Amino acid sequence: MSRFYYPAFQFAPNFGSKMMKNLWPFCFGILIWSCQSPSSPSHPGPEKLIIETLENETLYFCERNLAMWQEQWSHQPFVSKMYTGNTPFREFIGWEAVNQNTVDHIRKFPDPIPVPDSNQEYAIELFGEAAMVFYSKNGESGTIREVRLMVLEDEKWKIASMQTIY
């Protein structure tokens, strides 16, 4: 009788030991393969690209680099920008109004400003070629909360709406 007593092995007395000799290298290979760290994807996921766009938009605004700031935004008529909180409510609808507001601000305050410290814990909800992003950053007057609508245009994430709450 075989060392392994199981009805399937009783008809082939050496089946169990042959199977174990052939099975252990296979199991060992599976174990080694499963311990490998996953390889990095060849391109970053949408969340990373969205965060990169948001951080670039803030950086270029603070540097007063209008041309690069404009590249982070969709130029569609549906874009909007809104400020509220401990400041008067202001809203700009359409790319022309959003852009003009920033042009006017940079003309009025041309000197670069420090990039705000961020406690970026981004909450990103993807909806195909659109995404909602929620995060906060530290401003001079306290925490600033941001809500952004992002759209995918020509394989690049762009800002379509900004809501800032001071």
- Condensed to tens digits (0 to 9), the pLDDT of residues 43-75 reads 679 999 999 999 999 999 999 999 999 999 999
Mark whether 77 and 14 lie in a shared domain.
Answer: no
pLDDT value at residue 132 = 98
pLDDT of 79 over the 60 cut? yes
pLDDT value at residue 31 = 53
Mark whether 52 and 99 lie in a shared domain.
Answer: yes
Mark whether 82 and 31 lie in a shared domain.
Answer: no
Mark whether 35 and 66 lie in a shared domain.
Answer: no
HEC-encoded secondary structure of the chain: CCCCCCHHHCCCCCHHHHHHHHHHHHHHHHHHHHHCCCCCCCCCCHHHHHHHHHHHHHHHHHHCCHHHHHHCECCCCCCEEEEECCCCCEEEECHHHHHHHHHHHHHHCCCCCCCCCECCCCEEEEECCEEEEEEEEEECCEEEEEEEEEEEECCEEEEEEEEEEC
Mark whether 50 and 2 lie in a shared domain.
Answer: no
How many domains are there within the chain?
Answer: 2
Query: Structure pTM?
Result: 0.73
Mark whether 101 and 29 lie in a shared domain.
Answer: no
Mark whether 53 and 86 lie in a shared domain.
Answer: yes
Mark whether 71 and 97 lie in a shared domain.
Answer: yes
Mark whether 114 and 85 lie in a shared domain.
Answer: yes
Question: Residue 104 is part of a domain; what is its CATH number?
Answer: 3.10.450.50
Higher-confidence position of 78 and 33: 78
Q: Which domain holds residue 144?
A: 46-165
pLDDT of 151 over the 80 cut? yes
pLDDT value at residue 117 = 72
Query: At 30, is the pLDDT very low, low, confident or very high (cuts 50, 70, 90)?
Result: low
Q: How far apart are CA 61 and CA 29, in angstroms?
A: 53
